[in-house]
Structure 1
Amino acid sequence: MRLFLATAIAALASASSLKAGWFHCPLFTPSTNGASGGGAAARAAKTLGKYWSKHDLIDRERIHARKSPQDDQDAVISPHSVPASTCASFEAPLCYPGLCDSSKSVNVYAKRIEATSPPPPGQRPTAVWFLQGGPGESSYVMDTLMRQVYTLFNGSVSVYTMDHRGTGRSTYLDCPTVGASSGGSENSTTITPHELPECLAEVRATYGKDVAAGFGTTAAASDLKMLIEALNEGHDTFVYGVSYGTFLVHRLMQLAPTNVKGYIFDSVVGPGTPHFSQWSVLNKPVADLLLSYCSKDSYCRKMLLGQDAHDVLQRILNRPNGQVCGDLTAYDLRAYLYMLLQAGAGARDFIPAIIHRADRCTENDQIALHNIQQAFMPPSPRPSFNFVDVDNSKLMYYDIIFSELWEQPTPSLDEMKRRMDANLMGTDMADYVTVYCYFTNSQDPACRDIPKANAPFVYPVDKYGLAKSTTIPNNASVLILNGDLDPQTPPQGARVLLNRLQGGKKRLITFPDAAHATVMTTPVKTEGMVTCGMNLVAQFIYTNGDVASLDLACKADLVNTTFQIPPETAMKIVGAKDAYNGRVSRVKATTMSSALNESNSNDEELKVGGLIVVCIVGTLVLMAVVIQDVKKAKRAAKEKATDATTAAKAQDTAAKTEYDPVTV
């Protein structure tokens, strides 16, 4: 007889309730999409100089006082000292009571690093869970955050993650016989509308006709609740979610597990909002904000010849026939700038230079624009015939967004295009209308001309999704973090969540220059320190969820947005030392527009931020190079000024020596 999570909570922590027990497994799980969860993130962390000290949280004052990692070399914990992680697969019902009806089961994968140091005297053990976004993304990017928090606390906390049912090493939602998400399908791993009818028919034949809720948010939150209450009994448990992970954490709060002490929301998908169909509407203010930063910055405005950045970009996008510069179209430029805005500091710093060169549009500018595009968005090779990116389930993604995060009735194709055209930086969601119609089999006016697939795979919004407010459990508190320059989850979603939550133990902290995933996109100027976002998360855990006592000193140390590209960085990216006006000395083979189209076709979810933390980690290395180049340039300027002062003093002394006798 199969043992289900829902009927085996008391025994779940024992090996007998697992499918095969807990096994040692790699902490950093290689991604099937070609990016290593450990490699890219670890290289980025090393480049950014993130060292973790035993004393950082034992004595919180030292978080702000320590000047460099060298001050604590004897206390630095090597990543190699982190104990081996263990992984397990649990069996859970496909349909929890009230969600759908089925006797089938699914597997739920979990990973952990267990605490090796006891908690302080008189305190309960602490457990921290990390939940990835998407929806549809696996947990492998959480590996880095698990190690970071474990090391910050000197091994005194246990850290966990899980793969949302439907993706990763949990039961993967797919149509393997049709092969629509394999490398050998007609559009590689992107499922096309043409492939959807048979793909959805296979899914329904495999799991049942009305079981889409079995891969939805409430089902995954129920898995998480069962695991926490079984594995972390007697612990103070904290749950961190990023992007769609915040939507999942909010649903967990509605289920009110008994031993969760704190809920951490990083980059919020606001509950009760059609986040994905209103993508262009929600992120328009973020693009406008960045452009206003440029217009208020004396250097940036000077580089744009005194013109307002918003006005210049609008003028470029309004050029005849949608051609803005060479073979670069207005459509491509909007998407291209959005991708850089989404990537955060480092990448987005090039946006004014791109605007300036697109405005002038000489032959040399076209080469420069091409080189910038190649540096940030290189085309990806087509994967092998049988390759399936199990770290990303597009079917699960569509199942959840069309059920809970999309307007109903759906906006029309024309309306989606209008929203896109009203945004200076953005991605086209119009193609999703067709996918919506296939997934829902809807009779909406926008779906009338689209053939019916007759194989819907969506679920009705349940009582949790329909609720207008959420009560924070009596024993819990809430920390909400969001970046003002986050186009994937703009800050208004965080404010929606804050107002929705009923209870006094909550706090929203925003960062004026942060992009998506604040634990990664809030670097500080002081070398050797963790990001400000991670600092606050660690404090929240350390103080047992006391939001009132959080020390915000790290916000004063944040790296600010800069539009001054260091010459060495400009040479690497643009091919000229002056990113705005330099003559380019090199060129690559692929045109900008074709590379952009190829990049988008290889993974459609990149266009709407489906790939949440993964793309951020992938750009952190480059972001780190830019930040380090800025610091290097500032140090060089300071040294140059010092040298100039010394030389002037020496020259003055020599002059005086010439006329005045030296006295001793």
Structure 2
Amino acid sequence: MKKFILLTILVIYSIGQVEAQSWKCPENIRIPEFKSSDCFFLKAPLNYDSDNTEKIDLFVRKFPAKRKRKGSIWLIPGGPGESGATLYPLINQFSELFPHMDIFIPDHRGTGYSSKICPKEEVVDSPGGMALSNDEWGPCFDYMYSNPNYAKAFTITNAAKDLSLLINELSGQGERYIYGVSYGTQLVLRLLQLGTTNLDAVILDSLVPLQDDEKYDLSRRSFITNEVGLSFLQKFDETFPNHISIREQLKNVIERAEKDQEFANQLPKQDLTILFGMMLDIPYVRNKIPEIIKSLNKGDFKPLQNSIAKITSFYQEYGANYQSSPNSIPLTQIITASENNLRPDITKANVAQESRELLFKSPLPNLIAENTMPTYKRDNYFGKIPKQMPPTLILHGNLDPKTHIEGARKHYKVLKQENPSISFIEINSAPHFIALFAPNVFRKAVREFIRKKSIEDQTMNEKTLSFK
């Protein structure tokens, strides 16, 4: 971080009342896709709704338009603990799709190079880099509880107001588009609730459920994962009907893992149901689930081991080139506990009991149970929808194990009542994150939508997602 701060300032200028600093970007020489990018730090209020004069830094990376500029598009990452680095691997894809647009990718407050909840422990030159190492958790907790007003300022609404400030100050002339994925869709919708930013089009990838939808709440993620997993197995059974039900075979494997110690000793230490749940996130691993189940029934552990290696490799390699890629767990926990967990009193024992019979599970409910981090009070924007929206495209996979398609459809229908210029595209067999895992459908749908500022509701197919 010291080397980064000492890098030469290229330009310092004022835009309205906000001071923006343009820096020589970190990592530009080392990373090819960064070579043309510009970077900015803007000062923003720690808390927009108080007399507090404390400021924080917001980091934004800009990729200039490849052709004659016509406007800008803002790419909003998920999380809430993810930085803009999660979208850097897709920059060439977005540059091809929007060649006439400047592309801006911000780091949410609390992530990446923007100000962190734990300023000493979540920075590049700390022992664990931007990720917290084991001996950094204690000091990080101490800082949060010693500075509660600071920690509690890292809210969704303040992050949305950050976005409004950034977009209004840096976009320049021309059309303004915005893309959000996962939690990024929630943040974009909160931005639209504010009504302080003019946008010409919105793209929502893997739409989160309504904030007060108890059925699809984060504390019930394992039920969502299980339903999607069973839907996948049913699709397989329908495609290949002349075999013993793959669902029954999985049930037998899990029961054997609980009762047969010799069999269990050859399995990974991780809960088998959680491993199968994780496989649903990555299509080329997910499509191997039937083979893995059949092999385990025969006592062959190699396909399972290969799939675990692929999962590990995916998460280690995706975004690994970027120093700012580690998620901020403190930010994730604070936002989740404050307004994205409708059952804040649930215990880890409750989670274990209610998910006992599931064949596919998520680790998330157990991780967010019994929160010990500071929380903030929900504000007037909680659970509400924007009153006015520009033309909006929603893309959602019908095998999304994180944000269930029925939760997305319900959210879409509520939004549509007040905002008729919204379209919903369902992608067959797609998981979470359409831009990454169904790029051909994403490109086709977005191009038509941007050209016409509308597109008919429909179901589309991505050939690479089908299993053979």
TM-score with structure 1 setting the length: 0.60
CA 499–213 in structure 1, closer or farther in 2 if over 3 Å, else same: farther
Of 232, 248, 263, the match for 1:311: 248
Pairwise CA distance, 1:204:
4.0
2:293 aligned with 1:355: yes
- Measured in 2, the distance between the counterparts of 1:378 and 1:466 equals 37
Q: What are the within-5 Å matches in structure 2 for residues 245-324 of structure 1?
A: 245-272=184-211, 273=213, 275-298=217-240, 301-302=241-242, 306-319=243-256, 320-321=258-259
Secondary structure of 1:519's counterpart equals helix
Q: Which residue of 1 aligns with 2:446?
A: 537
- Measured in 2, the distance between the counterparts of 1:177 and 1:295 equals 49
Pairwise CA distance, 1:393:
1.0
Pairwise CA distance, 1:169:
0.8
2:118 aligned with 1:174: yes
CA 428–290 in structure 1, closer or farther in 2 if over 3 Å, else same: same
Larger Rg: 1
Residues 341-384 of structure 1 show CA distances to partners (whole Å, capped at 9, x for unaligned) of 1112x1111101110011121xxx13443344334436999xxx
2:454 aligned with 1:546: yes
- Measured in 1, the distance between the counterparts of 2:405 and 2:133 equals 30
Q: What are the within-5 Å matches in structure 2 for residues 507-586 of structure 1?
A: 507-522=423-438, 531-543=440-452, 545-548=453-456, 555=460, 558-563=463-468
Paired residues of 2:28 and 2:35 also in contact (CA < 8 A) = no
Q: Which residue of 1 aligns with 2:3?
A: none
Residues 147-173 of structure 1 show CA distances to partners (whole Å, capped at 9, x for unaligned) of 3233334x3212111000111011122
- Measured in 1, the distance between the counterparts of 2:52 and 2:260 equals 52
Q: Which residue of 1 aligns with 2:39?
A: 87
CA 336–278 in structure 1, closer or farther in 2 if over 3 Å, else same: same
Secondary structure of 1:497's counterpart equals helix
- Measured in 2, the distance between the counterparts of 1:12 and 1:144 equals 31
Secondary structure of 1:21's counterpart equals strand
CA 507–379 in structure 1, closer or farther in 2 if over 3 Å, else same: closer
CA 197–518 in structure 1, closer or farther in 2 if over 3 Å, else same: same
Pairwise CA distance, 1:399:
1.0
Secondary structure of 1:342's counterpart equals coil
Pairwise CA distance, 1:522:
1.6
Q: What are the within-5 Å matches in structure 2 for residues 360-439 of structure 1?
A: 360-361=298-299, 365-377=300-312, 391-429=326-364, 431-432=366-367, 435-436=370-371, 438-439=372-373
- Measured in 2, the distance between the counterparts of 1:126 and 1:560 equals 33
Q: Which residue of 1 aligns with 2:10?
A: none
Pairwise CA distance, 1:435:
4.9
Q: Which residue of 2 aligns with 1:612?
A: none
- Measured in 2, the distance between the counterparts of 1:370 and 1:231 equals 48
Paired residues of 1:240 and 1:264 also in contact (CA < 8 A) = yes
Of 402, 405, 410, the match for 1:488: 402
Residues 485-532 of structure 1 show CA distances to partners (whole Å, capped at 9, x for unaligned) of 111222123113212312111111111111111112125xxxxxxx11
Pairwise CA distance, 1:216:
1.6
- Aligned CA RMSD, in angstroms, stands at 3.4
Residues 260-288 of structure 1 show CA distances to partners (whole Å, capped at 9, x for unaligned) of 01121101222314632111122221101
- Measured in 1, the distance between the counterparts of 2:355 and 2:225 equals 10
Secondary structure of 2:22's counterpart equals coil
- Measured in 1, the distance between the counterparts of 2:314 and 2:405 equals 31
Paired residues of 2:76 and 2:180 also in contact (CA < 8 A) = yes
Paired residues of 1:95 and 1:213 also in contact (CA < 8 A) = no
Pairwise CA distance, 1:542:
3.0
Pairwise CA distance, 1:106:
0.5
Q: Which residue of 2 aligns with 1:241?
A: 180
CA 242–430 in structure 1, closer or farther in 2 if over 3 Å, else same: closer
Q: What are the within-5 Å matches in structure 2 for residues 431-510 of structure 1?
A: 431-432=366-367, 435-436=370-371, 438-439=372-373, 457-467=374-384, 469-473=385-389, 476-501=390-415, 502-510=418-426
Pairwise CA distance, 1:12:
5.3
Secondary structure of 1:509's counterpart equals strand
CA 96–283 in structure 1, closer or farther in 2 if over 3 Å, else same: same
Paired residues of 1:280 and 1:419 also in contact (CA < 8 A) = no
Pairwise CA distance, 1:312:
1.4
- Measured in 2, the distance between the counterparts of 1:87 and 1:536 equals 30
Paired residues of 1:27 and 1:143 also in contact (CA < 8 A) = no
Aligned residue pair count: 442
CA 182–428 in structure 1, closer or farther in 2 if over 3 Å, else same: farther
Pairwise CA distance, 1:214:
1.9
Q: What are the within-5 Å matches in structure 2 for residues 327-346 of structure 1?
A: 327-328=266-267, 332-344=271-283, 346=284
2:104 aligned with 1:104: no
- Measured in 1, the distance between the counterparts of 2:142 and 2:462 equals 54
Q: Which residue of 2 aligns with 1:139?
A: 84
Paired residues of 1:322 and 1:329 also in contact (CA < 8 A) = no
Q: Residue 420 of structure 2 aligns to which amino acid in structure 1? A: G
Pairwise CA distance, 1:27:
6.4
Q: What are the within-5 Å matches in structure 2 for residues 616-631 of structure 1?
A: none
Which runs of no fewer than 5 residues in structure 1 stay unpaired? Answer: 1-10, 31-37, 39-78, 120-124, 382-387, 440-456, 524-530, 564-664
Q: Residue 203 of structure 1 aligns to which amino acid in structure 2? A: M
Residues 31-57 of structure 1 show CA distances to partners (whole Å, capped at 9, x for unaligned) of xxxxxxx7xxxxxxxxxxxxxxxxxxx
Q: Residue 308 of structure 2 aligns to which amino acid in structure 1? A: Q
Residues 79-103 of structure 1 show CA distances to partners (whole Å, capped at 9, x for unaligned) of 8xx9811110000010011xx5632
Q: Structure 1 vs Structure 2: percent identity of aligned residues?
A: 25
Paired residues of 1:108 and 1:171 also in contact (CA < 8 A) = yes
Of 188, 192, 200, the match for 2:141: 200
Paired residues of 2:441 and 2:461 also in contact (CA < 8 A) = no
Q: Residue 382 of structure 2 aligns to which amino acid in structure 1? A: G
Pairwise CA distance, 1:184:
6.8
